[in-house]
Amino acid sequence: MTGPRAAVAFSTSTMRAAERTFDGDEGGESAPVELKELDKAFMDRATPEGLRQLDQLAKLNGHNSIEAYLDDKLRYTAGFSTQDKLLTDELVVEDSPAKPDYKAFWYDEDDPDTFSEEHDEFKEDDMMSMAHNKLKEIREMRQYTRLAVWEMPLLSKLAKPFELPKEGHVLRWRYTTYMGEAHPAESKVVVQFAPQDLGLTEVQTDKLRKLAGARLNPETDVIKMSSGRFEHQAQNKRYLQQLVGALVAEAKDPRDTFADVALDTRHHYRATKAAKKSKPKFPAAWRMTAKRRTELAELRAQAGRAEAQRLDEGRVVDGQQKIDGYLMQRLAEEQAKSAAEPVPVPAGRSPARARR
């Protein structure tokens, strides 16, 4: 068993060039050192215990590890291997960021980190962007076609027969889903229920109808409410559940039964009347029947006979003839008036010269 080893400090001396000459083609230069072979040999012989001891010695000399110590000593040593220098320089060059190309088309002074590499020259051997988009669309259509042919028929195995809702399920919920897009109305939830299905007494049921107000359809006796004030469907559903519970609790309150309040259904009949106005129906009295056709034929025949009788008696006025006669009469009056007016002649001249 050995005792603790005393710390030994590293010491280096300046490396001296070999003074002896070498015969051969080297011309006196030192032989190149194969760093890869040295590293391999070192890793084969090194043990974890030895590496830990080397790290401890390096820490005593102010370095974190033996690699940092060797890099500090050999990096700035005159005899540092040229091959190791080249290898280190290559690693530094690879790790350093690429310099921006100031002559590039996409270079921006405000944003120098912009990708400045130019694209490859287009050699007319590829499709344009529109053609690629069309090809992508065709691929999507083919994908959905394959789904419809091969996978959608498998959904029939998951089909369940329809079952009527149980007596305890009195609330009917409706949700809306817009496939492939986000819609603001997607969070809306609608609930419907019949007051008579809640197990209330007749007085409580009438009070619930009156509390529902415009949400009640008196023809179907169904209360319909909706909510879209919250962002998610679950929130709107919970709000409607609480609202229905509050209505039922108020209907069960015996302090005021609303017996002296009449059920107001004007909202429903007002909407029904407006719907009827928007879709008028053809009156039954105006429909054409065989009797009505006979009456119309007789009326047309009587009107034709009366018109022929007025023509024969000369009681029918010809409008075109009256207009032509009036125009001819007006023309004759203007000609007579122009002939009766005297022609003014300047003094000292004959009428012939005055007309020139």
Q: Which tokens go with 267?
A: 């909202």
Sign of CA dihedral 287, 289, 294, 295: negative
Q: Which tokens go with 74?
A: 């050999």
Enumerate domains of the chain plus CATH numbers. Answer: 35-95 (no CATH), 172-278 (3.30.160.20)
Cα–Cα distance measured from residue 185 to residue 172, given in angstroms and rounded to the nearest whole number: 19
What residues form DSSP beta bridges with 172?
192
pTM for the whole structure: 0.40
Mark 214-245 as b/e (b = at least 16 C-beta within 10 Å): eebbeeeebbbbebbeeeebeebbebbeeebe
Instruction: Name the one residue in this structure whose structure tokens are 């998951």.
Output: 158
Half-sphere exposure of 81 (CA within 13 A, CB side): 13
What residues form DSSP beta bridges with 227?
189
Q: Which tokens go with 339?
A: 């002939």
The tens place of each residue's pLDDT in the chain, 356 residues long, gives 445 554 444 444 444 444 444 444 444 444 444 556 666 666 677 777 777 877 787 787 777 777 777 777 666 655 555 555 565 665 555 555 666 667 766 666 666 665 555 566 767 778 888 999 999 999 999 999 999 999 999 999 999 998 888 888 899 999 999 988 889 999 999 999 999 999 999 999 999 999 999 999 999 999 999 999 999 999 999 999 999 999 999 999 999 999 889 999 988 887 776 666 666 678 888 889 999 999 999 999 999 999 889 888 878 888 888 899 899 999 999 888 888 777 676 666 555 554 54
Cα–Cα distance measured from residue 55 to residue 108, given in angstroms and rounded to the nearest whole number: 48
Instruction: Name the one residue in this structure whose structure tokens are 């280096």.
Output: 12
Alpha-carbon torsion angle 39, 42, 47, 50, nearest 10: -110
Burial class from Cβ neighbours inside 10 Å (0-12, 13-18, 19+) for residue 185 reads exposed
Q: What is residue 193's three-state secondary structure?
A: strand
Q: Which tokens go with 233?
A: 């469907």
Q: What is residue 226's three-state secondary structure?
A: strand
